[in-house]
């Protein structure tokens, strides 16, 4: 099929089927767009790069982009999930044949809500130190432990869970990866109040919860490898995405840019302010240029070290923008509440910047990754790397 024929086909399909959506949606939990997403899935547009016997169309990357562009132009969601759908990609790569056939179509249509059950109070940056256990029982596994920093747990049908299945081998080698059914008595979800006074995350207490055998992804005790696929998807999405202000529309006059705020605050002619505003804008511009160059280099088939830098760059951008925003407001930044939206934004952004610089791997972990995987510097010696996990010191 030529590019033009493909473009014509997808545009014709959209013209026939696309009628708009209900306005609200939540990225975790059941998706109100499910009916539409199911149509997209059944037509093969959801995952155009996947083979035709696996919900896709077997298209090349370039042709798949034609599909994505046509959907974007129409404002229709759901195409190109082979790049973006963390859950479906993980399940496609690692689920057993039977479970895959059941779960992947549901994931592509957002018919099941999902959450991540990775971090624990004692296993943050050192994720392989998890102590949640999965013990073999008849027909499946019994899971007990505590997870934290889980988004969407309250509405999730499944959690992607890492749990320890062998305590007598070193920490990375005794972990398995499961799809844990969340709607069962042994799973208790409690909201976690954040420094922003929001509660986007939960703690999940798991007591003797049951996972059927076929919900194991990848080999038994091979969960660390499965996790790497899943984490790579998560990190690549975080470099691009960052939340704007909580109040949405921005300051009273609606100009949310730093430049706009500097004007509004009457500080745009202050040479000290100009330096700081310019530099903050520059960090963001440079990250945009890096991302564009990385994409161009990847398209030319050259590997690019830049992709791994995006998340670290975004941390600096968010912290710096919040700092400059505070500088521009001066004493106004002491206030909060709905009558002071500019202060609300500055203060919210100051706190929420940690979402990026701690979440999904702290800046410090990210620097280790860049140093080791991009610059090929040696790892730190790890005292627990070869010890059986039950002998590792914790606390």
Partner 1 sequence: MTDTLLRPAPPAALTHEERSALIDSVRRLLADRCTEGDVRRIIDSDSGHDPALWRALVDLGIAGLTVPEAHGGAGLGATELELVMEEAGAVLLPAPLVSAAIAATLVPDLDGLATGERIAAVAFTGRHGWTGRDTVTVAGGRVTGTARFVADAAIADTILVAADEGVFAVEVADARITPLPVFDRTRRMADVAIDAPARQVADAGVIAKARDIGVVALAGEQAGGARRMLEMTVAYARDRHQFGRAIGSFQAIKHMAADLLLESESATSAARDAARQLADGSTTADAAVALAAFACADAFVRVAKDGIQMHGGIAFTWDHPAHLYLRRARSGAQLFGDSDRWRDRYLAALEAQA
Which residues would be at the binding site for partner 1 (CB under 8 A)? 259-260, 268, 271, 274-275, 277-279, 281-282, 285-287, 289-290, 292-293, 300, 305-306, 309, 312-313, 364, 366-368, 370-372, 374-381
For the CB of residue 278, give the shortest distance to partner 1 in the complex, in Å.
4
| Closest to 220 (Cα-Cα) out of 149, 287, 290, 164 | 164
Residue 12 or 286 having the CB closest to partner 1: 286
Residue 156 or 312 having the CB closest to partner 1: 312
For the CB of residue 283, give the shortest distance to partner 1 in the complex, in Å.
8
| Closest to 390 (Cα-Cα) out of 222, 169, 147 | 169
DSSP-based three-state secondary structure for 207 = strand
DSSP-based three-state secondary structure for 221 = coil
Torsion from C-alpha of 36, 38, 44, 48, nearest 10 degrees: 80
Residue 43 or 358 having the CB closest to partner 1: 358
For the CB of residue 19, give the shortest distance to partner 1 in the complex, in Å.
37
For the CB of residue 360, give the shortest distance to partner 1 in the complex, in Å.
16
| Closest to 349 (Cα-Cα) out of 382, 394, 383, 317 | 317
For the CB of residue 386, give the shortest distance to partner 1 in the complex, in Å.
17
| DSSP labels, 85-137 | -HHHHHHHHHS-HHHHHHHHHHHHTT-S-EEEE--BTTBSSSGGG---EEEEE
Residue 39 or 363 having the CB closest to partner 1: 363
Residue 58 or 371 having the CB closest to partner 1: 371
| DSSP labels, 315-355 | HHHHHHHHHHHHHHHGGGGG--STT-HHHHHHHHHHHHHHH
For the CB of residue 332, give the shortest distance to partner 1 in the complex, in Å.
22
Which residues on adjacent β-strands are paired with residue 176? 163
For the CB of residue 251, give the shortest distance to partner 1 in the complex, in Å.
15
Look-up: residue for tokens 């996972």?
A: 211
DSSP summary character for residue 222: B
For the CB of residue 277, give the shortest distance to partner 1 in the complex, in Å.
6
Here the tokens at position 112 are 């099941």
Residue 1 or 292 having the CB closest to partner 1: 292
Residue 167 or 256 having the CB closest to partner 1: 256
Non-local (6+) Cβ contacts of 249 within 8 A are 256, 341
Residue 163 or 281 having the CB closest to partner 1: 281
Residue 135 or 372 having the CB closest to partner 1: 372
For the CB of residue 276, give the shortest distance to partner 1 in the complex, in Å.
9
For the CB of residue 313, give the shortest distance to partner 1 in the complex, in Å.
6
| Closest to 310 (Cα-Cα) out of 235, 376, 257, 361 | 235
How many angstroms separate the CA atoms of 35 and 26, rounded? 15
Residue 207 or 279 having the CB closest to partner 1: 279
How many angstroms separate the CA atoms of 132 and 143, rounded? 7
Q: How many residues does the chain have?
A: 395
């Amino acid at each position: 099929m030529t590019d033009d024929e493909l473009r014509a086909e997808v545009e014709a399909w959209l013209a026939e089927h696309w009628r708009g959506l209900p306005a609200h949606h939540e990225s975790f939990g059941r998706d109100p767009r499910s009916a539409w997403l199911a149509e997209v899935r059944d037509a093969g547009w959801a995952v155009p790069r996947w083979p035709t016997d696996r919900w896709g169309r077997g298209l090349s990357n370039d042709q798949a982009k034609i599909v994505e562009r046509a959907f974007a132009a129409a404002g229709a969601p759901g195409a190109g999930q082979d790049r973006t759908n963390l859950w479906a990609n993980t399940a496609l790569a690692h689920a057993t044949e039977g479970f895959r056939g059941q779960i992947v179509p549901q994931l592509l249509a957002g018919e099941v809500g999902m959450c991540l059950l990775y971090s624990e109070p004692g296993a943050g940056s050192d994720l392989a130190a998890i102590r949640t256990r999965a013990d073999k029982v008849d027909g499946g596994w019994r899971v007990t432990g505590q997870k934290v920093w889980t988004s969407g747990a309250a509405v999730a049908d499944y959690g992607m869970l890492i749990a320890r299945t062998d305590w007598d081998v070193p920490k990375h080698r005794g972990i398995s990866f499961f799809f844990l059914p969340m709607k069962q008595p042994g799973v208790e979800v409690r909201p976690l109040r954040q420094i922003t006074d929001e509660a986007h995350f939960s703690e999940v207490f798991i007591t003797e919860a049951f996972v059927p055998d076929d919900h194991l992804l990848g080999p038994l005790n091979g969960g660390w490898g499965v996790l790497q696929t899943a984490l790579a998807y998560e990190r690549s999405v975080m470099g691009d995405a960052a939340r704007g202000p909580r109040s949405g529309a921005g300051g009273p006059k609606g100009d949310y840019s730093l430049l706009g705020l500097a004007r509004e605050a009457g500080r745009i002619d202050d040479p000290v302010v100009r330096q700081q505003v310019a530099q903050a804008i520059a960090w963001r511009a440079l990250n945009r240029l890096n991302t564009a160059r990385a994409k161009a280099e990847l398209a030319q088939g050259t590997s690019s070290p830049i992709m791994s830098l995006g998340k670290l760059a975004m941390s600096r951008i968010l912290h710096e923008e919040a700092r400059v925003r505070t500088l521009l407001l001066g004493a106004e930044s002491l206030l909060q509440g709905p009558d002071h939206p500019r202060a609300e934004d500055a203060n919210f952004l100051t706190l929420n910047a940690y979402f990026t610089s701690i979440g999904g791997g702290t800046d410090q972990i990210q620097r280790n990754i860049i140093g080791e995987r991009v610059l090929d510097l040696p790892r730190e010696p790890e005292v627990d790397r070869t010890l059986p996990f039950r002998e590792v010191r914790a606390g």
